[in-house]
Chains A and B, each alone.
Chain A
């Protein structure tokens, strides 16, 4: 089966850089995705790592290392609007784009 663990809460200040980690125990998967969810809102897609390495999209970057069973989301130049929950998710093998989500990390950005 698949199990993805994330820190439950992270706090940072505006303008700072924060890293949200995702460690997983899984027998295999096709890729690691990250989604953002504001309180009361819908999850929105941020990034997808099909291969090991770093993917950069504006202020957000995501990293995957299959050998270390580890990934992270890096948020730079933090803004107040980045306060939200962040979920990592994997595509398990044998599935058609099915996602299994992690436990989620609540990011609080302070002024």
Chain B
């Protein structure tokens, strides 16, 4: 089966600009996650969707970050305006419902904010 798809793979923007990332999860996976991974650290969950509803967005900086999952499939994550500290890899993952289900990650988008 096809894996999690993400685009773009790389993005360079200036601070205060906006940027959007796209994710297409594995077919049939109800749960979708967006993680932020800063260099040298583990991934940090930003937001989790179950179908098209938000399950957890406790660590999403809502003043600048937003995300949606239209029709319970694809998802977009937006940053507006970007700050230097937003430079990181943004990973999308998906999983089946049920506790303990493995999460399958996409290749990520490497964002550089200058």
13 contacts between A and B (CB under 8 A): A33-B102, A42-B4, A42-B91, A42-B107, A45-B104, A48-B100, A48-B102, A89-B42, A95-B56, A96-B99, A98-B56, A99-B45, A104-B40
User: What chain A residues lie within 8 Å of B42 (beta carbons)?
Assistant: 87, 89, 101-104
- Residue B44 lies at the interface, judged by CB distance under 8 Å to chain A: yes
Contact A30 B99 (CB under 8 A): yes
Distance, CA A104 to CA B40, complexed state (A): 8
Instruction: Point out residues on B near A: beta carbons under 8 Å.
Output: 4, 31, 33, 40-45, 48, 50, 55-56, 91, 93, 95, 97-108
Chain A interface, number of residues (Cβ within 8 angstroms): 23
Residue of A nearest to B55 (CB): A96
Distance, CA A41 to CA B101, complexed state (A): 21
